[in-house]
Structure 1
Amino acid sequence: MVALVGNPRGGTRTFDAAVEIAETLAKGAGHDDPVALVDLSALAPRLLAPVPPPEVTAARERVAAAKVLVVAGPTYKGTYTGLLKVFLDGLPSRALAGTLALPVLVMGDPRHALAVEVHLRPLLVELGASVPTPGLALVEADLPRLREVLDLWQAAVAPHVRAALDGRP
């Protein structure tokens, strides 16, 4: 399992939530392997280099090789960050074929909840990912009760995560 965090700042609540979500889903699927993290805040200055540096290439390869990919970011201006878009635009066409993607957006206002389904899901599908479950629109006010929110969401996504991690369609 890989958690991709598209927040331009490091050490954020989005990062913490992404880690907890990925670890909870992996554990719930019976997999104790460590979650691989791709934190775009650390790669941001190098993402637009004419020739991608090795760490950017390695991050894209890690994301493309994921069986399950949690794609998390904050909601900016009613959608995901440009940083996340730049990173994903650098992937080859259909790079996420065979990957179960789980979109997660952290937002200040519940009015932005549709951004997960209307903006982030289509991008992941365009890259070939399977996105069979609802994404998670996580309102900042709900972060203190993240475990409770996750329990509800995990019920919907767990069978898909388990199948993907076990190598079943």
Structure 2
Amino acid sequence: MAVTVVVGNPKPASRTLTAATLLAAGLRPEAETRVIDLVSLGPKLLGWGDPEVAEAVRAVADSSLVVFASPTFKATYTGLLKLFLEQFDGGTGLAGVISVPLMLGAGPAHALAPDLLLKPVLVELGATAALPGLYLSDRTFETDGVIEGYTARWRPVVSALAAGAAR
């Protein structure tokens, strides 16, 4: 099972990246995780046909599980992530991909953002978004046990979905 993490934080090697890789490892501990830190693509995301962006899009579309992660900016996900998602065809670009929306923020005010703002875009692109989105405190996610609780609850569902897709 190919597992990919897509990080839409404009800061390289961010806490968002750390949280997303922990989440992916918890959901599919047996799989190696590929990381696409979108900040490394930068202005290449503004046009069409860049080979590096095309390879990242292919890698995501060919994955079985993708964690799409963003910090909360202005009550939603980042423009960097939006630019990347614009590279996929509507309805089919993420067909066959189990997606998990993940967002981090400073407080609970935007706790519904992953489900209300990011998940609908992933579904519009054809992703399977059967798991609830996850919102984490950007200051406590490494110690508060939320990722561990989420992955313990949803790991069997991801396994079942992946097994069903493999048939």
SS in 1 for 2:103: strand
CA distance in 1 between partners of 2:142 and 2:33 (Å): 22
SS in 1 for 2:28: helix
Q: Establish whether residue 56 from structure 1 lines up as the match of residue 77 from structure 2.
A: no
What percent of counterpart residues are identical? 38
TM-score by length of 1: 0.90
CA distance in 1 between partners of 2:39 and 2:157 (Å): 29
Q: CA deviation at 1:141?
A: 3.1
TM-score by length of 2: 0.91
Could you list the structure 1 runs, at least 4 aligned residues long, displaced by more than 4 angstroms after superposition: none
CA distance in 2 between partners of 1:54 and 1:18 (Å): 25
Query: 1:155 aligned to 140, 152, 156, which one?
Result: 152
Q: CA deviation at 1:168?
A: 4.8
Instruction: Return 5+ residue gaps in structure 1 as ranges.
Output: none
Q: CA deviation at 1:145?
A: 1.2
Instruction: Return 5+ residue gaps in structure 2 as ranges.
Output: none
CA distance in 2 between partners of 1:4 and 1:159 (Å): 22
CA distance in 2 between partners of 1:168 and 1:155 (Å): 22
**Comparing both structures, which one devotes a greater share of its residues to helix?**
1
SS in 2 for 1:141: coil
The one-letter amino acid paired with 1:85 is K
Question: Counterpart in 2 of 1:109?
Answer: 107
The one-letter amino acid paired with 2:80 is L
Query: 1:24 aligned to 21, 26, 38, which one?
Result: 26
Q: CA deviation at 1:159?
A: 1.8
Question: Counterpart in 2 of 1:130?
Answer: 128
Task: Please give the per-residue CA displacement for 1:13-44, whole angstroms capped at 9, x wherever unaligned.
Answer: 111111111122111xxx2x310111101001
